[in-house]
Amino acid sequence: MDGFALRRASVADAPAVLQVFDEVIAWFVGMGNHDQWGTEPWSASPRRVKQVSEACAMPGAWVLEEAGGRIRAALVLGEPMPYVPSTTEPEVYVRLLIAARDERLRGVGRRLLAFADDRARAAEVRRLRVDCYGGGTGDLVRFYESCGYERISTFDVEGWPGQLLGRNL
């Protein structure tokens, strides 16, 4: 991707990553998707600010930055989320994947998932898992399936329907 660079994230990147979330949420609201992440900007929620700040501080946090320094996407790899069942084999868990709504970024989600595959191979790990919003139209689940992930199980977090998916390399 000409004009973009993938680099390790830090907690200092959290406000920019929150801005990406805010833009995506505004887009969701505009299309009537109020249930995935709500309708309020994450940057206005102390809980979400803390969540994103902690994610950006993780050793497996990465951001995609365009020339000029604007962050346009984030990927966080790490331990599984506490609400999903544990696994008995080593894995790379995709904790966060977000990309701005920008035509120049078309396909960046797939590229970041391919990067996660590369990180797993480098660590000699053959299993990846990810969870996502399992409600609405199901488009997000189908996106992960189109990237080689298979449905494992569904779950519910305080009324939020989730889908756990996994893939072997």
Distance (Å, rounded) from C-alpha 61 to C-alpha 95?
9
* 166 C-beta neighbours (distance < 10 Å), count: 19
Q: Please tell me the pTM assigned to this model.
A: 0.94
Query: Is the domain 4-128 a CATH 3.40.630.30 member?
Result: yes
Q: Are strands 127-133 and 92-99 parallel, antiparallel or unpaired?
A: parallel
Rounded mean pLDDT of 142-162? 96
pLDDT tens digits for 62-81? 999 999 899 999 999 999 99
Q: SS3 string of 153-166?
A: EEEEECCEEEEEEE
Domain borders along the chain are: 4-128
The DSSP code for 92 is E
69-73, 101-105, 131-135: segment of lowest average pLDDT: 101-105
Distance (Å, rounded) from C-alpha 68 to C-alpha 50?
26
* 88 C-beta neighbours (distance < 10 Å), count: 6
pLDDT tens digits for 109-131? 999 999 999 999 999 999 999 99
